[in-house]
């Protein structure tokens, strides 16, 4: 039981520090030869609850394209960007890609 309580605390604490953005447009998509495995996003809104170590002033979220999940998120984001749709974004709370928070969830608004 004690282990369950500790694990629950760890998982809830990690997500409590994740950034989120609601009803924003993607205004910039960044890919570069020096960061071939990543894609970064610029949005037209604020990131709420941004982790303190996410200090990149230009890009708010990044995607790891080496994973299958990252590739699926990339497809969803490109579709939303091309269609001009608003999105809601939630990060992981980790900023290990050039001080940009790693993206965990995308919701496209239709």
Question: Per-residue pLDDT tens for 50-105?
Answer: 898 998 999 999 999 999 999 999 999 999 999 999 999 999 999 988 899 999 99
CA distances from 69 to 10, 12, 58, 73, 106 (A): 23, 22, 24, 6, 11
Q: Where are the domains of the chain?
A: 2-108
- What does pTM read for this prediction? 0.81
Topology of 2-108 in CATH?
A: OB fold (Dihydrolipoamide Acetyltransferase, E2P) (2.40.50)
pLDDT-derived band at 6 (thresholds 50, 70, 90) equals: very low
Place of tokens 């037209």: 44
Q: Which of these, 80, 79, 77, lies nearest to 103 by C-alpha position?
A: 77
């Amino acid at each position: 039981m004690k282990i369950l309580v500790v694990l629950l605390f760890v998982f809830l604490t990690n997500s409590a520090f994740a950034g989120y953005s609601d009803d924003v447009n993607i205004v910039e998509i960044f890919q570069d030869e020096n960061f071939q495995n990543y894609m970064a996003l610029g949005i037209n809104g604020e990131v709420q609850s941004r982790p303190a170590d996410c200090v990149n002033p230009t890009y708010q979220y990044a995607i790891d394209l080496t994973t299958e999940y990252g590739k699926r998120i990339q497809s969803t984001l490109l579709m939303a960007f091309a269609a001009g749709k608003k999105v809601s974004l939630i990060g992981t709370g980790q900023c290990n890609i050039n001080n940009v928070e790693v993206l965990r969830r995308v919701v496209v608004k239709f």
